[in-house]
Amino acid sequence: MTMSSNAGGRRKPPTIHDVAREAGVSRGTVSRVLNGGHYVSPAAREAVDDAIRRTGYVVNRHARSLITGRSDSVGFLLTEPQERFFEDPNFNVLLSGCTQALARHDIPLLLMLAGTKEERRRITRYITAGHVDGVLLVSSHSGDPVAEELRAAGVPLVACGKPIGLGSKVSYVAADDRDGARDMVRHLLAVGRRRIGMITGPLDTPGGVERLAGYKEILTEAGIAIDEALVVSGDYSKASGEAGAERLLAQAPDLDAVFVASDLMAQGVLAVLQRAGKRVPDDIAVGGFDDSPAATAVTPALTTIRQPWDRISTEMVRVLLAQIGGEDPAAVILPTELVRREST
Amino acid sequence: MTMSSNAGGRRKPPTIHDVAREAGVSRGTVSRVLNGGHYVSPAAREAVDDAIRRTGYVVNRHARSLITGRSDSVGFLLTEPQERFFEDPNFNVLLSGCTQALARHDIPLLLMLAGTKEERRRITRYITAGHVDGVLLVSSHSGDPVAEELRAAGVPLVACGKPIGLGSKVSYVAADDRDGARDMVRHLLAVGRRRIGMITGPLDTPGGVERLAGYKEILTEAGIAIDEALVVSGDYSKASGEAGAERLLAQAPDLDAVFVASDLMAQGVLAVLQRAGKRVPDDIAVGGFDDSPAATAVTPALTTIRQPWDRISTEMVRVLLAQIGGEDPAAVILPTELVRREST
DNA sequence: TCATGCTCTGTGAGCGTTCACAGTAGAGAA
DNA sequence: TTCTCTACTGTGAACGCTCACAGAGCATGA
């Protein structure tokens, strides 16, 4: 009741010194128990553990970082248009997956949004100054100056999706876009479709390119010639899906299926088909990509390709930590999965 | 070419000592320039600024924190079911708004997700150990043990939305739910509706309660008796919107409008009404709440109440920083806005 | 016996800052 | 002149931790 009241202000937390005194050992021994704990006797370890519990000791990370040179934290960096990611729920799954995977290693995640030029400058300084040990990068597309600068500065870096123009020195984790596209087109063939159109993603991104490649690959394999009138390009947005569907309907009235490179675009496609009086999947089958919530929000529910976002995030963290630990950059490609619903 | 190559590893960054030497002054003077900069001559200041630029010096935050006791960082804490927030794009707007507002003060944001019990424990320790100076709290509903513990520990705390069961000692920033509801019901009356139903939000949250209160208030004011058969409760989810709409249609076939406490629920309502052959807004007008992307994704586009998420985030940061600076807790209520579209 | 190795422990130094304090120089007042 | 005040500057100590090192105790082998 006397000094134990902490009403109002925060009291000074116990230090490693207090723990050492409490346990009847030296600072060094406490420190050894805290980190790995080699070369410490069972008796000492127990005494220290007890003392830690009694005092409620938590290591002061600033003091530790000051001497180790590590910050024991990593940045989650989102460059370029944020709106794009913000309307995509997969982004949240990725962010939360990374946060939780890091939490398991007791490493906090710093969120960094590089929107304006000023923010980009600040973030670059912050990172290159060593305030984080590494960076999880979500860059929209091509040549990202921030990422390039970080790479040049030797900051451990793991990108989500294959980055463009960063050389081969940067790690990345990506879903197998091409194989996902192959699965979808194979599926459309399997349900009897032959005039299969495609609305692509942005072709300045590896994802966009790969999905298109998978589409062409399977059609060719099936002995179906690629009809360029059946391929229109989009940018993953709902609006571009609508535009693409309209062009496609105009250019190829005999279309009986369309593979759309994102669920968001597919949502737009469904709207256009409905207005045009086409029944899905009876007249035209529609396949999406992403398995975003949009896929189940629409009617008919969308057949789509699921990207393993949970695994992507844990892999990104694993690769980053390995790289911080001194290992070489690595590329990880993860398998996708066809999710069949009502639209095919 | 000799030592200037930094291929591979990172080189040791310049310290305040290097800057002092370079500028021909002492550490103390450099430090004074860095912080506020009182009692430093123009000449010295200029020399230091120059030296900082030349050396590319960035302050070592760990060393600073070690002595000041501040961490100069804040946590963004999300407790309870994350899925709920993750499907809500407003969450992203809030998160990004807070991140950017903090960035302007050069304060990094640490993302903390308290899902499991284990995570809760870790996060509580982390925060009470003083590893962050304050916390932006997004708690779903009632009695949150983490929040309560933080409050008790005297950690500066600002909640998004009025928190329940935390006493009056905790700051919060919220939209004016009641007034938003009032606006919507007034609007429904203005377009000639009289049998106005409501699907509420969870009634163990202030938001849910307030929106219901606003609804009842305006109807009473207009001389319309509250018909309990017209009020069903939901939990903001799409599924509960569908269920609510079905009950409402069954209980009150003469319904001519419904005020739905979230856009997501309204999405479900529209689906049910369509299946039931009701035209919107001709037969039944539908009003939502949130102005989420869902509002424009559906047909007809939803008339709804916009919450000022951008202002909410900047206000949360402002209040938190003030509180960290020693000011008293504060409550901020921000006005909402009616957005008229096609559904009313 | 002494040397060697192994496990375990304590000690001092130092990481890069800020802060309190002491001290200097110059201006103005007595 | 001398004293005081103000504006500015430098210095040592400390923040809490880890790390390298030295050394103690004990067992093993020559």
- Reported as a single tens digit per residue, the pLDDT across B100-123 is 999 999 999 999 999 888 889 999
Q: Give the other-Cβ count within 10 Å of A176's Cβ.
A: 18
Quote the CA–CA distance of A236 and A85 in Å, as a whole number: 11
List per-residue pLDDT tens for chain B, 344 residues long.
333 333 344 568 899 999 999 999 999 999 999 987 788 888 899 999 999 999 999 999 999 999 999 999 999 999 876 666 666 778 888 999 999 999 999 999 999 999 888 889 999 999 999 999 999 999 865 567 888 889 989 999 999 988 877 666 789 999 999 999 999 999 999 999 999 999 999 998 888 999 999 999 999 999 999 999 999 999 988 899 999 999 999 999 999 999 999 998 999 999 999 999 999 999 999 999 998 877 887 889 999 999 999 999 999 999 999 999 999 999 999 999 999 999 99
**pLDDT at residue A47 is higher than 70:** yes
Q: Which of residues 248-287 of B touch A (CB under 8 A)?
A: 267, 271
CATH class of segment(s) A74-175+310-334: alpha beta
Q: What is the pLDDT of residue B82?
A: 67
Question: Which pLDDT belongs to residue B139?
Answer: 80
Q: List the domain boundaries for chain A.
A: 16-59, 74-175+310-334, 177-306
pLDDT for residue B250 = 94
Measured between CA atoms, how close is B158 to chain A, in angstroms? Answer: 16
Look up the CATH superfamily of B16-59.
lambda repressor-like DNA-binding domains (1.10.260.40)
Scan for tokens 């949240």, then name that residue.
A92
Which of A64, A48, A58, A50 lies closest to A13 in space, CA to CA?
A: A58
pLDDT digits (tens, 9 = 90+) for B23-56: 999 999 999 999 877 888 888 999 999 999 999 9
pLDDT at A46 over 80: yes
The larger pLDDT score, comparing residue B235 to residue A141, is at B235
Given a cut of 90, whether residue A341 has pLDDT beyond it is yes
Confidence of residue A225 (pLDDT cuts 50, 70, 90): very high
Does residue A56 lie within 7 Å of nucleic acid chain D, judged by its CB?
A: no
Round to whole Å and give the CA distance between B9 and B118.
36
User: Is B48 within 8 Å of B17 (Cβ atoms)?
Assistant: no
Check residue B20 and report its DSSP letter: H
Nearest CA in chain A to B153: A10
The CA distance from A199 to A264, in Å, is 12
Is the pLDDT score of A2 beyond 60? no
Residue that the structure tokens 């509180």 belong to = B323
B149/A contact by beta carbon, under 8 A = no
Q: How far is A194 from chain B (nearest CA, A)?
A: 31
Cβ distance of A113 and B106 shorter than 8 Å = no
- The overall longest dimension of chain B from CA atoms, in Å, is 86
List CB contacts (< 8 A) between A121 and chain B. Answer: none
pLDDT of A181 higher than 80: yes
Token couple for B291: 């102005």
Nearest CA to A76 among A94, A88, A59?
A94
* pLDDT score recorded for residue B8: 41
Cα–Cα distance, B306 to A188 (Å, whole number)? 42
Topology match between the domains B16-59 and B177-306: no
Q: Is the CB of A68 under 7 A from strand D?
A: yes
B92–A113 C-beta distance less than 8 A = no
Cα distance between residue A60 and residue B67, in whole Å: 11
Find chain A residues with C-beta within 8 A of B70's C-beta.
none
Nearest to B216 by CA among B261, B252, B250: B261
Structure-derived torsion over alpha carbons of residues A49, A53, A54, A59, reported in degrees to the nearest 10: 90
Q: Is the CB of A41 under 7 A from strand D?
A: no
> Is A155's CB within 8 Å of B10's CB?
yes
Instruction: For residue B66, list chain A residues with Cβ-Cβ distance below 8 A.
Output: 60, 62-63, 66
Token pair listed for A321: 């930590």
Residues of B in contact with A7 (CB under 8 A): 154
pLDDT tens by residue, A187-215:
999 999 999 999 999 998 889 999 999 99
- The residue among B236, B298, B305 whose CA lies nearest residue B273 is B298
CA pair distance B270, B287, nearest whole angstrom: 10
Amino acid code (one letter) for B168: S
What local confidence, expressed as pLDDT, does residue B101 receive?
96
Alpha-helix residue ranges (DSSP H) falling in B159-237: 177-190, 206-221
With CA of A27 and C1' of each nucleotide, the nearest comes out as C10
Separation of B29 CA and C23 C1' (Å):
15
Q: Give me the pLDDT at residue B299, please.
A: 83
Residue A84 — very low, low, confident or very high, per pLDDT cuts 50/70/90?
low
Q: Which DSSP string corresponds to B101-157?
A: HHHTTT--EEEEEE-SHHHHHHHHHHHHTTSSSEEEEE--SS--HHHHHHHHTT--E
pLDDT of the residue at A170: 87
B contact test, residue of A11, A60, A62, A124 with most B CBs within 10 A? A62
Min CA distance, B327 vs chain A (Å)? Answer: 12
CB contact under 8 A, A99 and B111: yes
Tokens of B325: 């600076």
Q: How far apart are CA B306 and CA A217, in angstroms?
A: 47
> 9-68 in A: which are within 8 Å (CB) of B?
9-10, 13, 58, 60-63, 65-66
End-to-end CA distance of chain B: 71
Query: What is the C-alpha separation between B44 and B50, in angstroms, rounded?
Result: 10
- Contact status of B87 with chain A (Cβ, < 8 Å): yes
**What pLDDT was estimated at residue A8?**
41
| CB contact at 8 A, A242 and A269 | yes
- Percent of chain B predicted with pLDDT > 70: 92
Tokens read off for B58:
């960035």
Supply the angle between the helices A206-221 and A177-190 in degrees, to the nearest 10. Answer: 40
Residue closest to A307 by CA, chosen among A119, A197, A178, A141: A178
For the stretch A247-279, pLDDT in tens is 999 999 999 999 999 998 999 999 999 999 999
Q: CA–CA separation, A329 vs A327, rounded Å?
A: 7
CA distance B319 to B332: 9
Listed residue (B193, B213, B305, B200) closest to B257, CA to CA: B193
Q: With CA atoms as reference, report the closest residue to B334 among B98, B173, B137.
A: B173
Considering only CA atoms, name the residue closest to the C1' of nucleotide C20: B28
Return the CATH architecture of domain A177-306: 3-Layer(aba) Sandwich (3.40)
- Which amino acid does the sequence have at A26? S
Determine, for residues B8 and A154 on separate chains, whether the beta-carbon distance falls below 8 Å.
yes
